[in-house]
Amino acid sequence: MRVDTAVLHRFSFRAPLVATLVCAALAVTGCASSGGRARSAAPLSSDAGAQTTKATDLQKFFWIFSPYRPDIQQGNFISKEMLEQVQVGQTRAQVQFILGTPLLVDIFHSDRWDYPFYLARGDGETTSARVSIYFKDDKVERFEGGKLPTEREYIDRIAGPTTAPAKEAPKKEEPANMIQINK
């Protein structure tokens, strides 16, 4: 009986210590993955255009303890060039051809199409944008999108900056290679 109480006595001191260490480890790794991404403080507005937030240094430090994070893209990417093609007076079919099928069509606001976009990079950088198209009598009355990135800026954000190869000047043919015809 005395051996059993000695084992129980040691276990009763170690169990809370082990439980505390496990909870602390979960809390530290939970800080790295809770929320997961940097969030923008302001609500998303159509007038603001694309909004980008970056991860804080503390978040980047805690991500050392977390697994690989892939890039996540949701919604329709609308570039500056695409929005410039939309004109007041176009039909719904024309807008759908230019911008694609809207992600949000509200049954309470059937005369408005919303194109939200969200890109979360694995390094914690998030980009979000929203374009709204307003119709009256099935024609574009107005549209909102703010300052949107170009297609080149979007590709650079995903794949990293690219440098365009320098264009070579066209070579002139030398007279020796040319065939001369004498009359």
DSSP string computed for 151-163: HHHHHHHHH----
Average pLDDT, integer, range 165-174: 58
Q: pLDDT tens digits, residue range 58-109?
A: 877 777 777 777 888 888 888 889 888 999 999 999 999 999 988 878 888 8
Mean pLDDT, the chain, integer: 74
Please state which of the ranges 5-9, 16-20, 30-34, 127-131 shows the lowest mean pLDDT: 30-34
**C-beta separation of 158 from 149 below 8 A:** no
Give the CA distances from residue 148 to residues 20, 89, 121, 130, 156, in Å, rounded to whole numbers and listed in that order: 49, 22, 18, 9, 14
User: Which neighbouring-strand residues pair with 114?
Assistant: 104, 132
Per DSSP (E only), the strands in the chain are 51-53, 72-75, 104-105, 112-120, 126-136, 139-144
**C-beta separation of 79 from 157 below 8 A:** no
> Torsions phi, psi of 20, nearest 5?
-65, -45
pLDDT at 168: 61
Taking the C-alpha atoms of residue 144 and residue 47, their distance in angstroms, rounded to an integer, is: 6
CATH code of domain 48-56+65-161: 3.30.1450
Taking the C-alpha atoms of residue 126 and residue 37, their distance in angstroms, rounded to an integer, is: 7
Which structure tokens are listed for 49?
A: 């255009």
Single pTM value for the model: 0.57
How confident is residue 42, by pLDDT bands cut at 50, 70 and 90? Answer: very low
91: DSSP letter: B
